């Protein structure tokens, strides 16, 4: 029941009991008044009876003294008592107003008759005495008839007093009982009213208001401080306190939801910030290894529950090679053909999960964890693959983070494409388009770097020229000449390996720089190179081109001269080799071997 209803009921019952208590007090007061009136009636009637008896005796005494002594004072006294007797007779006639019973009235009438009879005898005795017959007068006043009437009168008065005493006593007792009963009822209802008031005060104010409010005060205080971890006991009461408790519970639930949303928003903002930081660093990467390191550094921070691999397509676009990894994924191969991934086949992100709701990629082994393959594309071309793998089936993260995963893949794809495009542009700027060798400008930069950073350290320079190159162009066409040029360039690249760097100097001339090598060692290397080039016959489009020979000039630094004169000295040695009949190696120091 609601507190308002309880209060209204308690108020109504209290008013009712208070009213009944008032009525009981009023009735008790009326009973007390009736009791007092009964006592007064008893006193009046008892006094009347006593006065009747006493008055009759006094009149008789006055009459007797008068006839015996003849003293007029006694006669006057007799007449005075007679007047009192008339007043008593008038009072007897008004006794009905006091509620006298019929027996009482009959007794009074009998007293009145007997008093009249006595009065007649006494008056007759006084008349006889006044006439001089004292003996007759005394005989009447002291005779048996007078005594009988006087005794009867006194007995009747006593009976009247007993009747009035009995009646007024009963009325008095009834009035007293009613007064006591109504007084008890009034006190009882007042006690009930007080008990009801105290009960309502305890039950409503203490149990249903004060105690819940005290309990909720601490809860509301903690909620005001945004401490939503406080437990709010759910009160099922259907009253104002219950509604307040329900409101506090809803407030706490909303606060928890708001905190959860704030935490998700902060986490989402943190994820966006990390993605933005990663994008900035991806844009600043200059080589593919730096890009893979950036991805491997930021991906675990953005998605701590996802391991992953970064793959890049080879130049033939047939297979993918692992270039970056983080958090140690377990279920994807390091290298696999592009046809083994459904994501690359479809050109869209593909989920391979343990629930087998979709077909799994062939580059993944059997597992209960989900894996997401996101193709890396740029301007419509697929350039690689970003693979994410859930670290545990109990921590699903692929579907919840898929939007961000695809966003990251898009930016990584653009970054990889930019690096590849930059590498292509760099190659076009520093490499020869026909042979793939570094060009003359790279050679000049390398020599300048040698002057700045490696001054005083050994360096061998080989100037290489294809003998009678014009013959291949004239007899077999320029395409054949290009094949010869590419053939010689490839052999030089293979021979140099990690020993040095090969450049196309111009036309059919090439240059090799071999650092940390003496002139003698350079000579031996040149001879092996010349022998390898000359021992392999060439063919083009089914036609035998014959063997290719080269002339080589060698110069070294710093023992035989400075780096600044290295190219000049090597070129002079090459010219000397060509002048001597070609297909030979000549050292600028004068050492010649054919």
Active site residues: 508
What 360-365 contacts at long range (C-beta under 8 Å, 24+ apart), as own/partner pairs, is 362/336, 363/332, 363/333, 363/336, 364/331, 364/332, 365/331
DSSP 98: G
Q: How far apart are CA 207 and CA 328, in angstroms?
A: 62
**CA 543 → CA 83, 374, 480, 537, 538, distances in Å?**
190, 49, 10, 11, 9
Q: 223 Cβ partners below 8 Å, 6+ apart?
A: 230, 248, 251, 252, 255
- H or E segment and range at residue 593: strand 592-593
State the greatest distance between any 2 C-alpha atoms of the chain, in Å, as a whole number. Answer: 225
Cα 394 from Cα 396, distance rounded (Å) = 6
Distance of CA 511 to the CA centre of its chain: 75
* Dist. CA 218–CA 232, nearest whole Å: 10
Query: Which of 308, 325, 320 shows the shortest CA–CA distance to 369?
Result: 308
For every residue of 501-537, DSSP letters joined together read EEEEEETTEEEEEEET--HHHHHHHHHHHHHHHHTS-
Strands, E assignment, 379-467: 381-390, 459-466
Tokens of 494: 């293979």
Task: Name residue, tokens 């983080």.
Answer: 326
Q: How many CA atoms lie within 13 A of 490 on its CB side?
A: 8
Cα–chain-centroid distance for residue 18? 51
Gap between the Cα atoms of 240 and 260, Å rounded? 30
Query: Which residue has 């997401």 as its token pair?
Result: 372
Whole-angstrom distance, CA of residue 395 vs CA of residue 378: 32
- Measured in degrees and rounded to the nearest 5, phi and psi for residue 541 equal 55, 40
CA distance 441 to 491: 22
């Amino acid at each position: 029941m609601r507190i308002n209803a309880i209060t209204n009921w308690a108020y109504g019952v209290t008013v009712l009991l208070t009213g009944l208590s008032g009525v009981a007090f009023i009735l008790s007061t009326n009973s007390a008044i009736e009791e007092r009136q009964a006592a007064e009636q008893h006193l009046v009637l008892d006094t009347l009876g006593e006065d009747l008896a006493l008055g009759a005796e006094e009149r008789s005494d006055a009459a007797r003294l008068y006839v015996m002594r003849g003293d007029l004072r006694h006669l006057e006294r007799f007449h005075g008592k007679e007047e009192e007797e008339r007043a008593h007779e008038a009072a007897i006639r008004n006794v009905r107003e006091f509620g006298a019973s019929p027996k009482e009235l009959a007794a009074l009438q009998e007293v009145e008759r007997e008093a009249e009879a006595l009065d007649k005898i006494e008056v007759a005795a006084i008349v006889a005495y006044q006439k001089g017959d004292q003996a007759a007068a005394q005989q009447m006043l002291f005779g048996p008839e007078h005594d009988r009437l006087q005794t009867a009168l006194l007995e009747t008065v006593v009976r009247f007093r007993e009747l009035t005493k009995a009646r007024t006593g009963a009325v008095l007792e009834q009035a007293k009982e009613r007064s006591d009963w109504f007084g008890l009822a009034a006190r009882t209802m007042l006690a009930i009213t007080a008990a009801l008031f105290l009960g309502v005060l305890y039950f409503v104010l203490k149990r249903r208001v004060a105690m819940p409010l005290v309990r909720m005060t601490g809860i509301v205080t903690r909620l005001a401080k945004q401490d939503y971890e406080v437990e709010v006991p759910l009160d099922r009461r259907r009253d104002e306190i219950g509604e307040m408790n329900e409101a506090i519970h809803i407030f706490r639930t909303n606060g928890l939801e708001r905190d959860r949303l704030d935490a998700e928003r902060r986490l989402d903002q943190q994820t966006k910030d990390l993605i933005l930081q990663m994008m900035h660093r991806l844009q600043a990467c200059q080589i593919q290894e730096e890009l893979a390191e950036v991805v491997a550094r930021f991906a675990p921070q953005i998605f701590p529950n996802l391991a992953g691999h970064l793959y890049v397509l080879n130049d033939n676009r047939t297979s993918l090679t692992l270039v970056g990894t983080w958090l140690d994924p377990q279920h994807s191969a390091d290298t696999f053909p592009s046809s083994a991934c459904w994501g690359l086949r479809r050109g869209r992100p593909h989920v391979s999960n343990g629930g087998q709701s979709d077909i799994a990629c062939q580059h993944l082994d059997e597992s209960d964890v989900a894996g997401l393959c996101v193709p890396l594309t740029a301007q419509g071309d697929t350039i690689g693959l970003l693979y994410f793998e859930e670290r545990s089936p109990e921590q699903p993260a692929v579907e919840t983070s898929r939007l961000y995963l695809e966003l990251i893949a898009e930016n990584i794809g653009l970054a990889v494409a930019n690096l590849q495009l930059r590498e292509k542009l760099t190659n076009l700027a520093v490499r020869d388009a026909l042979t793939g060798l570094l060009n003359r400008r790279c050679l000049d930069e390398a020599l300048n770097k040698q002057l700045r950073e490696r001054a005083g350290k050994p360096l061998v320079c080989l100037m290489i020229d294809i003998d009678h190159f014009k013959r291949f162009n004239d007899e077999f066409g320029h395409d054949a000449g290009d094949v010869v040029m590419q053939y010689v360039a490839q052999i030089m690249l293979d021979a140099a390996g990690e020993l040095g760097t090969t450049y196309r100097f111009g036309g059919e001339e090439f240059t090799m720089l071999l650092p940390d090598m003496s002139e003698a060692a350079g000579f031996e290397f040149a001879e092996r190179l010349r022998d390898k080039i000359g021992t392999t016959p060439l063919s083009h489009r089914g036609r035998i081109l014959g063997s290719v020979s080269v002339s080589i000039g060698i110069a070294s630094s710093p023992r035989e001269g400075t780096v600044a004169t290295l190219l000049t000295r090597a070129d002079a040695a090459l010219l000397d080799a060509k002048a001597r009949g070609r297909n030979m190696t000549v050292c600028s120091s004068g050492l010649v071997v054919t």
